[in-house]
Chains A and B, each alone.
Chain A
Amino acid sequence: MQKLVEIASGVGNGSLSASAVVEQHLARIDVRESEIHAFNLVTADQARLDAAKVDADVKSGKKVGALAGVPIAVKDNMCTRGVETTCSSKILQGWKPPYDATVVTKLRAAGAIIIGKTNLDEFAMGSSTENSAFGPTKNPHDISRVPGGSSGGSAAAVAAGFAAASLGSDTGGSIRQPAALCGVVGVKPTYGVVSRYGLVAFASSLDQIGPFTCDVRDAATLLEVISGHDPLDSTSIPQPAPSLVSVLEHGVAGMRIGRVTDLPEGCEADVLERLESAFDALRSAGATIVDIKLPSIQYCLTAYYLIAPAEASSNLARYDGVRYGNRVDAADLNSMYAATREAGFGEEVKRRIMLGTYALSAGYYDAYYGKALKVRRLISDDFARAYQSVDTILTPTSPSVAFKFGSKTDNPLAMYLCDVFTIPTNLAGHPAMSVPFGTGAHSMPVGVQVLAPTLGEQAMFKVAAELERAS
């Protein structure tokens, strides 16, 4: 499969035709998309037009961007002007935003070709894409297994070669977990590094956009393009995008890598074995492994499932059938609201709206939402303490390899446990990424997660690059 950097440099120097690259990817989509269902929409016609324009620009000697001719898939919760953006929800089916998300604007400006909108768990709520209103995405390594979620479509699109890269969003692990399950690289940057403008909100204080790619260099390249301050997002960090590609060959000699000794239990043996061999690889490359404790990590899952639904209950209240999206008419206003939301939202979305509404309600706020915010501060304190003695931390990305469809759908709590290792970094606002590191049970891919403190992306990418060299 062609790497993003190879396509971009080939198209940029004229040795590769963007149109030909797009056709290759569309051909793979033709062959396998019907069984994988990575996309809610393949924008083939527009992709061909955009590719032809890139080729024309190259031919006429115009300067082209860092992603010239690179086919990129975008999770269907990022606004694309005039192109349906559904969040895999019936309530938004047919809705065409009048504007582009900032990341989409940046992709276009860099010459990337948007090849389609990828499937997700409805409104990014889930860990398997089984919560999509339009049917699940299959794991390209074994179509009887889930690709992870919520950005399962984006992960599968890269794993299946439908796109050279894709964008996902990560609220509690929605980039890293599907990256691990599909055997690709997935990055959740520091909160505020990538603009959220145009990302349909799930939990605003946790959501962050990031890349899926085949390798670490592609991830660094794509992240450099989409990051940077955006005046349209008040939570965007007011400083320029970090330089990442430049550090990939630096190695890890002298770096201190944290091993969490009080990690929550319930991990598959193969996954733990891969994690140990990752530590071995880093040690061989000159890093020091340091044992650390994160005592509050055991409360993170509970806190997350109060904070995220609380924010979601407010963010999703706008889908009321009044202004856009789908409406179910009824006798009076309140009945219309109820009928519209009853028909428009799936079970998991309704569950979280109710959880969140309850957590914020008068008389319950302090016991639930208020307490969850305290845990959020505690885990940040734990991390701050840990990062005094280490530069990065290594954990599993997911407790297990990709599981079978239907194996967790009857038990929401079992599904929520998929995010146990990824959630703490969202609560702290830190960066983390998943790097493929061999296979586990059923020969399915295993990912190792590299964590770093706020704006510690360079250290994180150094370690990720080293792991990639060792795998």
Chain B
Amino acid sequence: MSDVAALPNGWQLIVGLEVHVELATKTKMFSASANRFGDEPNTNIDPVTLGLPGALPVLNQHAIELAMRIGLALNCKVQPCTFHRKNYFYPDLPKAYQITQYDNPLNVDGHLMLPGEVRIGIERAHLEEDTGKSTHFGGSSGRIHGSDYSLIDFNRAGVPLVEIVSRPDIRTSEQARQYVAELRSILLAVGASDAKMEEGSMRCDVNVSVHKPGTPFGTRCEIKNVNSIRSVGRAIDYESRRQVDLIESGGTIRQETRHWDDSTGRTETLRTKEDADDYRYFLEPDLVPLIPDPEWIESVRAALPILPAARRLALAELCGVDKDGESALVVVERGQDDYVGAVISAGGDPRRSIIYVQQAFAEQGATPKVPAKDLAALTILERDAKVTSTQAKTLLTDLIEAGGGDVLAMAAKRGFETLDTSAVEEMVDAAIAAEPGAWQKYCNGEDKALGALVGAVMKSSKGKADGKVITALLQSKKNS
């Protein structure tokens, strides 16, 4: 695990994350307008979306179901819940209040596991509506104050959101990145959201504080505008060091909201606690309590797909690799674990199967064109040293380009034939005779000299000798 966030002088980092995800519903949270990204501004609107006088909200059943999927996938308890109004003025908030969940959210008390059996608690995952999107013109900050004018697109207003609030259980910026990545893959797996951070359908607010172990948590700052997994790590690293530096130079941390600037790599004060809004939460009188039928909850639970962590574990066991390693992570994220399973079922070498897919199938999607049996044949060819690993890579490229085929015929066409060990041994002896200086150095323990000897054999075999075989032969001759 990276220890990039290790802080000086025994300071400990404490992080909690609030992640907003837009749900993949056809229509909005409270009206029939389309929930679709990228349309012409102000085309997916209606009286409810615009908060016109007299308009009333009606809950979208599909939004509730997707929110329940998220809750259940995060091991939450799904419970009867209510909606509140969060009141504040802003031009892209049409009713001047957001309908959200306050003291009775839909999902509570869950958790998410990170590599190394690190358990991150989930406090709640509640439903709420998104705001419109403002764009400010003129002025230097890109914010409303100081701008000449602003344009508002209400297409996003009323889009259903789930806000997933973690407990402050995260201790390194690496864990924070892993948390966001794992959450994202869960959201994709259950089909709740397209979770595109670059399009804003998944947004992170990061709460950062520092303390010395054994003392209470320090004052936290909330960082907004963190729009990529990489930025999550960078923002935490910057902010935690800022806090430690400030404390160590005699200052105190103010509770405030800070803005992450990705170009400068710094956080800046957005607003302090003193000028925070009083949201005057109260029960939304236009909605009735939401009491999900236990049968409904169970049917949603039963229909959940196998989650990424379980799939990684199964794949890792099948292939004999680390469940938290890169190959299991990447292959499951691409949804290619079933394919790897098929390659192994077709007789493929387990470890080589997953590595080939990890390294060469980035563009292939969940159902690669190459038939599983053909990839299986290639792994066997390499395992049995019928081709060198370099040759195998070439054949893999051929196989992908052709969309499959007879691997033996492809190897023959390329003129790949592996030399038997006695032929290689003759060439090794010839190389030792031709490079006595290098041989002497190698025998004296200078491993750098190995390269010249292997290179000479490769050259005389025209690349048909297996590098590993050559090295093994040189090793045994040195030791004999």
From A87, A233, A317, A365, contact of B96 by CB (8 A): A317
Q: Is the interface of A mostly helix, strand, loop or mixed?
A: loop
Residues on the B chain within 8 Å of A324, using CB: 50, 52
The answer to whether B87 and A317 touch across the interface, beta carbons within 8 angstroms, is yes
In the assembled complex, which residues on chain A have CB atoms less than 8 Å from the CB atom of B96? 314, 317-318, 320
**A contacts, CB < 8 Å to B:** 78-79, 85, 87, 92, 95, 97-99, 101, 196-201, 203-205, 231-235, 310-311, 313-314, 317-318, 320, 322-324, 332-333, 337, 357, 360-362, 365, 369
Residues in B whose Cβ lies below 8 Å from that of A98: 47, 52
Contact residues in B for A196 (Cβ distance below 8 Å): 54, 56
Knowing A78-B54, A235-B286, A369-B282 touch, does A333 contact B94 (C-beta < 8 A)? no
A87 contact from B53, B56, B89, Cβ within 8 A: B53
A234-B286 contact given A317-B97, A318-B94, A362-B278, CB 8 Å threshold: yes
Closest 8 CB pairs of A and B: A317-B96, A205-B285, A360-B280, A204-B285, A200-B53, A198-B54, A79-B54, A322-B91
- B47-83: CB near A (< 8 Å → 1, else 0) gives 1001111111111000000000000000000000000
Known: A199-B54, A314-B282. 6 other contacts (CB 8 A): A78-B54, A204-B285, A311-B285, A314-B87, A323-B94, A333-B91
CA distance A78 to B55 in the complex (A): 11
Q: A79-B53, A101-B54, A369-B282 are in contact. Are A235 and B288 (CB under 8 A)?
A: yes
- The answer, yes or no, to whether B477 is at the interface (CB within 8 Å) is no
Using known A-B contacts A317-B95, A320-B89, determine if residue A85 contacts B53 with beta carbons closer than 8 Å.
yes
Q: How far is the CB of A106 from chain B (nearest CB, A)?
A: 15
Nearest opposing residue in chain A for B47, CB measure: A99
CA distance A84 to B286 in the complex (A): 24
Closest to B284 in A: A204
Q: Does B6 contact A (CB under 8 A)?
A: no
Is B434 part of the binding interface, using a Cβ–Cβ cutoff of 8 Å?
no
Complex CA distance for A233 and B55, rounded to whole angstroms? 9
Q: Are A357 and B280 in contact (CB under 8 A)?
A: yes
**B282 to A318, Cβ gap below 8 A?**
no
B145 within 8 A of A: yes
For the complex formed, measure the closest distance between the CB of B97 and the CB atoms of chain A, giving whole angstroms.
6
Q: How many residues of B contact A (CB 8 A)?
A: 30
Residues in A with CB closer than 8 Å to B145 are 332-333
B287/A323 in contact, CB under 8 A: no
A383 to chain B, nearest CB (A): 20
**With A99-B47, A333-B144 in contact, do A317 and B56 touch (Cβ < 8 Å)?**
no
Q: Contacts A97-B52, A318-B53 given: A232-B282 contact, CB under 8 Å? A: no
Q: In the complex, what distance in Å separates the CA atom of A99 from the CA atom of B50?
A: 13
Q: Is the CB of B282 within 8 A of A360?
A: yes
Nearest-Cβ distance from residue B247 to partner chain A, whole angstroms? 29
CB-based contact B288/A234 at 8 Å: yes
Interface centre among A199, A201, A231, A337, by most chain B C-beta atoms within 10 angstroms, is A201
The answer to whether residues A361 and B52 also contact, given A314-B87, A314-B97 and a CB cut-off of 8 A, is no
Name the contact of B280 in the complex, choosing from A92, A201, A235, A361 (C-beta under 8 A).
A361
Instruction: Provide a sorted-by-A list of 17 A–B residue pairs whose CB atoms are within 8 angstroms.
Output: A78-B54, A79-B53, A79-B54, A97-B47, A197-B56, A198-B55, A199-B54, A204-B286, A234-B57, A234-B288, A311-B285, A313-B280, A314-B96, A317-B87, A323-B94, A332-B145, A337-B89
Complex: A323 Cα to B54 Cα, angstroms: 15
Which residues from 276 to 328 on chain B have a C-beta closer than 8 Å to any C-beta of chain A? 278, 280-282, 285-288
The answer to whether A234 and B56 have CB atoms under 8 Å apart is yes
Which partner residue on chain B sits nearest A358 by CB separation?
B280
Q: How far is the CA of A228 from the CA of B342 in the complex (A)?
A: 58
Chain A residue contacts of B288, Cβ below 8 A? 234-235
A360 to B50, CA, bound (A): 25
Q: Please, which residues of chain B bring their CB within 8 A of the CB of A87?
A: 53
Chain B: CB-nearest residue to A333: B144
* Docked complex Cα distance between A360 and B84 (Å): 13
Contacts of B56 in A (CB 8 A): 196-197, 232-234
- Which residues of chain B are within 8 angstroms of A322 by Cβ–Cβ distance? 91, 152
Write the B122-144 contact mask toward A (1 if CB under 8 angstroms, else 0): 00000000000000000000001
B59 / chain A contacts, CB cutoff of 8 Å: 234
- B51's partner among A203, A232, A318, A369 (CB-CB below 8 A) is A318
On whether the beta carbons of A234 and B54 are closer than 8 Å, the reply is no
Taking CB atoms, residues of chain B closer than 8 Å to A369 are: 282
A101 and B50 CA atoms in complex are apart in Å by 16
**Chain A residues closer than 8 Å to B94, beta-carbon distance:** 318, 323
| Cross-chain contact A323 with B50 (CB below 8 angstroms) | yes
Assembly CA distance A284 to B152 (angstroms): 67
A-chain residues with CB within 8 Å of residue B286 when the two chains form the complex: 201, 204, 234-235
Q: Report B83 CB to chain A, min CB distance, Å.
A: 10
Chain B 135-175 interface residues, beta-carbon cutoff 8 Å to A: 144-145, 152
- A197 neighbours in B (Cβ, 8 Å): 54-56
**Chain B residues positioned under 8 Å from A198 (CB to CB):** 54-55
Query: Residue B85 at the A interface, CB < 8 A?
Result: yes
Bound CA–CA A232/B32 (angstroms): 11
A234-B52 in contact given A98-B47, A314-B87, A314-B280 (Cβ < 8 Å): no
Residue of B with least CB distance to A311: B285
Alpha-carbon gap, A310 to B59, bound state (A):
23
A5 CB to closest chain B CB, in angstroms?
A: 29
Q: Which residues of B contact A101 (CB under 8 A)?
A: 54
Interfacial chain B residues near A360, Cβ < 8 Å: 87, 280-282
Check B54 against A97 for contact (C-beta < 8 Å): yes
Q: Is A97 a contact partner of B95 (Cβ separation < 8 A)? A: no
| Chain B positions 355 through 383: 1 when the CB is less than 8 Å from some CB of chain A, otherwise 0 | 00000000000000000000000000000
Which B residues are CB-close (under 8 A) to A234? 56-59, 286-288
